[in-house]
């Protein structure tokens, strides 16, 4: 069996819609005939795909991030997933502190933001991780 042939046929038969819609039987559907709700496993596959995309974009635009300690990279990738690369790069003072290797200052700057006010639990947890590097 050629799985690519089946996949191509399913795309043709099911069509694609990036937003939830009701199929011809009234069932809530998304993508290429995927019934909602999805499972945790399916959500993790989508998360993995999107996270890899964000990581590739981040590291291609800001090569220096790859030289940071793993824990700092993990914090930045988490932020990037939530805020996007452009959103993360608006943390100019935090970035200056990271480039200087001052993780405590980077954490302080990360907390001095609208992001930290909007998502305080996440921001506090991530910036605590950042402050405790080194």
Per-residue pLDDT of the chain (134 residues; tens, 9 = 90+): 999 999 999 999 999 999 999 999 999 999 999 999 999 999 999 999 999 999 999 999 999 999 999 999 999 999 999 999 999 999 999 999 999 999 999 999 999 999 999 999 999 999 999 999 97
The pLDDT assigned to 67 comes to 97
Handedness of CA 96, 100, 104, 105 (dihedral sign): negative
Alpha-carbon torsion angle 19, 23, 29, 33, nearest 10: -100
The pLDDT assigned to 105 comes to 98
**Do the Cβ atoms of 26 and 33 come closer than 8 Å?**
no
The pLDDT assigned to 61 comes to 97
Q: Is 44 in the same domain as 24?
A: no
**Alpha-carbon 11 to chain mean position:** 26
The pLDDT assigned to 12 comes to 97
The pLDDT assigned to 134 comes to 75
The pLDDT assigned to 59 comes to 98
Number of structural domains the chain divides into? 2
Q: Is 61 in the same domain as 82?
A: yes
The CATH number of residue 100's host domain is 1.10.530.40
Q: Is 8 in the same domain as 68?
A: no
What radius of gyration do the chain's Cα atoms show?
20
Q: Is 29 in the same domain as 45?
A: no
Q: Which phi and psi (to 5°) does residue 21 adopt? A: -150, 165
Q: Is 84 in the same domain as 52?
A: yes
Q: Is 13 in the same domain as 60?
A: no
Q: Is 28 in the same domain as 46?
A: no
Strand, coil or helix: 17 = strand
Which residues span the domain enclosing 82? 40-131
**Do the Cβ atoms of 31 and 16 come closer than 8 Å?**
yes
């Amino acid at each position: 069996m050629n799985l690519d042939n089946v996949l191509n046929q399913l795309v043709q038969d099911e069509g694609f819609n990036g937003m939830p819609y009701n199929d011809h039987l009234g069932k809530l559907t998304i993508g290429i005939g995927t019934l909602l709700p999805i499972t945790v496993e399916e959500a993790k596959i989508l998360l993995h795909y999107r996270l890899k995309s964000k990581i590739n974009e981040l590291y291609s635009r800001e090569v220096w991030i790859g030289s940071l300690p793993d824990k700092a990279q993990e914090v930045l990738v988490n932020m990037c997933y939530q805020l996007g690369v452009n959103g993360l790069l608006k943390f100019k003072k935090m970035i200056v502190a990271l480039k200087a290797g001052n993780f405590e200052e980077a954490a302080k700057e990360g907390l001095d933001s609208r992001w930290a006010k909007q998502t305080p639990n996440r921001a506090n947890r991530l910036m605590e991780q950042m402050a405790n590097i080194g």
